[in-house]
Amino acid sequence: MKRAGALFVLTATIVFVAGGLVAAAPVPPGVSALGLHAVFVDQSPSPTLLPGTITKHTVHFRNVGIAPWQRGGRTQVNLGISGDVTAFAAQGIGSGWLSPNRLATTSEDMVLPGMIGTFTFPLRAPMDPGAYRLPIRPVVDGITWLEDGAPPVVLTSDLGFHSSVVEVSRHSVLHPGDVSTLTVKIRNTGARTWTKGQLGQQVNLGVVGDDKFLGALGVGWPTPDRVAIQSEPTVIPGGLATFIFRVRGPSLPGVYPLRLRPVVDGVTWLEDDDVVSLITVAAPGAPTTPAPAAEPAGTTLTTMNAAVPAVSGPSFQLAATVDPTSVVTGGTAKITARFATSDSSSGNVLGVLVHAPATDALAYQTCFHNENSAAEHSRGFSV
């Protein structure tokens, strides 16, 4: 009986070629699934699209079974969404698919054993930006799913606005009522041009979270939560945008952290590079001279404990080390900063700042927000 069964399956899938025509003997329903198998070959590069735009995507599978795949026939192989999920179609991705969970059938009329089947289908980027991962799997509807294991189709809906902070002015140390001008330079790392004066295309420098609490610091800001707009009429991809704004020291001495992030209002926030401008307001009579600029590149790195002007709150002791102590242009170094406080405190902003050689600009900074500390205990951070 086993021998007869094997012979029956083999006979049922013989392919006849005569006069240039290709035909396949019928596959009885009881044994169809046994001869249907597939293995993933490749797919088009993962697309990145503007929301609402459409592209064509292609996936290839090889027929590794013993039954042919016949479009329009009983063994038509479709490319489906694993688990028959319809959520992707509901998001608008599946415009033009065979059904909400069937992307396409083979482009070829017949895919014989050993040959490759082509599945080409449209993808529409949803209006909500993000990466969408579509789990795909070939299926013969009414008979069986074929092998799982193909990588998902990854569709990225992207608005094209991206940025990277290049340079930030040295943090301001002021007396109450003093005014300081600060500059932030940001590179356009996206695919779209930033155009000044055009709604949905102009990049502004905003306060993170639209926080208007520190708007009283502003002098001539566009709004209490937008410190500046791009200075340049246009900033093409790869270009630099300059944001210039002024702050006034409030009457109460202290350190005021101003967290900033570029934004295209009405469209999207750009990358959060943790840009923090610390506005330090010194007590009357206290010095406001900033610490010396860093040494030129290629020389030995040094660390120092900068004196903080007298302000209300706990006192801090600061220390930092650099490993290695000497680097060349393009090299890397590990900075370890430690601090200790005389009193228990909460909500502190602690930062590690690297100044550009021979300038007052910040080439790099990283800040730790809402840090708590206990009296006479030290904390450390490495970057």
35-157 topology per CATH: Immunoglobulin-like (2.60.40)
What pLDDT score does 310 carry? 42
Which alpha helices (DSSP H) does the chain contain, by range? 2-12, 87-90
**Closest by alpha carbon to 249, among 278, 289, 228?**
278
Q: Phi and psi dihedrals of 157, rounded to 5? A: -95, 115
Query: How far is the C-alpha of 331 from the C-alpha of 22, rounded, in Å?
Result: 65
What type of residue sits at position 273? D
What pLDDT score does 229 carry? 98
What does the DSSP 8-state code read for residue 309?
A: P
What pLDDT score does 373 carry? 66
Query: How far is the C-alpha of 188 from the C-alpha of 172, rounded, in Å?
Result: 26
What pLDDT score does 307 carry? 36
Q: Is the separation of the CB atoms in 376 and 340 below 8 Å?
A: yes
Q: Is the separation of the CB atoms in 192 and 266 below 8 Å?
A: no
Q: Would you state the structure tokens that stand for residue 61, as one six-digit string? A: 């599978």
Query: How far is the C-alpha of 132 from the C-alpha of 122, rounded, in Å?
Result: 14
- Which helix (H) or strand (E) is 118 found in, with range? strand 116-124
What pLDDT score does 308 carry? 40
**Closest by alpha carbon to 329, among 359, 356, 290?**
356
The CATH architecture one would assign to domain 161-290 is Sandwich (2.60)
Q: Would you state the structure tokens that stand for residue 73, as one six-digit string? A: 């026939």
Length of the chain: 383
Query: How far is the C-alpha of 193 from the C-alpha of 117, rounded, in Å?
Result: 40
* Residue numbers in the chain where pLDDT is lower than 70: 1-32, 286-318, 330, 339, 342-383
Q: Where are the domains of the chain?
A: 35-157, 161-290, 291-383
**Closest by alpha carbon to 301, among 320, 321, 326?**
326
What pLDDT score does 366 carry? 66
What pLDDT score does 383 carry? 60
Q: Render pLDDT for 307-365 as a digit per residue (tens, 0 to 9).
A: 344 445 556 666 777 778 777 776 777 777 776 776 666 666 666 666 656 555 555 66
| Domain 35-157 matches domain 161-290 at the CATH topology level | yes
Q: How many helices and strands in the chain, by DSSP H and E?
A: 2, 31
What type of residue sits at position 149? G
Query: How far is the C-alpha of 161 from the C-alpha of 155, rounded, in Å?
Result: 17
